[in-house]
A and B are shown apart, each in its own frame.
Chain A
């Protein structure tokens, strides 16, 4: 399954509601996770199984979706959310999306 993330680059202001998209080439059956990767760091798990929030992750992060279309939402952007975000499907094989780089205006 191939994953297409959009947009590839997103610029937003602190306090904005931000939505990142991930679309699969086939049905993912909700086996989708989201990772945050800050510059020079390893990826960090945010969300798994579409909408399960990983322990310790702030509640401003949420996930939704079904079928082939999934979304990561940050309800109120913080400056420390500057990062690249990857979706990851584990329904059929294991693949990552190409990432959305989130910039802070």
Chain B
């Protein structure tokens, strides 16, 4: 079945770079787009960016200068890197796959990776 799983460090120091991996199974990254969404503790959801199935990327304009999304199709992995982290970047980070035939509606989500930015 379709699965996504985020992995990465739980703790990152301020000003450092966050690196997260989304490992997927049950579908191909060349057939489905994968989005990243984050959620600060007790707050709402924020769309971060997307790895399109053709390998192109799009980013939230508010994060674009700090954010990079890439992939390794041979390993079924999508990577998120975000630089210059601050305490307000403390959040749970989710990767999510879109509905079949859709570009933007996310129907399958990972469990989330909790990231704390603190010294």
Measured CB to CB, the residues of A under 8 A from B are: 31, 33, 35, 42-45, 48-49, 54, 86, 88, 90, 94-99
Contacts and interface: CB of A to CB of B under 8 A. Distances in A.
B106 interface: yes
Contacts of A90: 103-105
Contact of B44 (A33, A48, A96): A96
B45 A45 contact: no
Report the contact-size class of chain B (Cβ under 8 Å from the partner). Answer: 20 to 34
A42 B45 contact: no
Contacts of B46: 96
Given A42-B94, A42-B112, A48-B99, A94 B47 contact: yes
Contacts of A31: 104
A36 to B, nearest CB: 12
B70 interface: no
Contacts of B47: 94-96
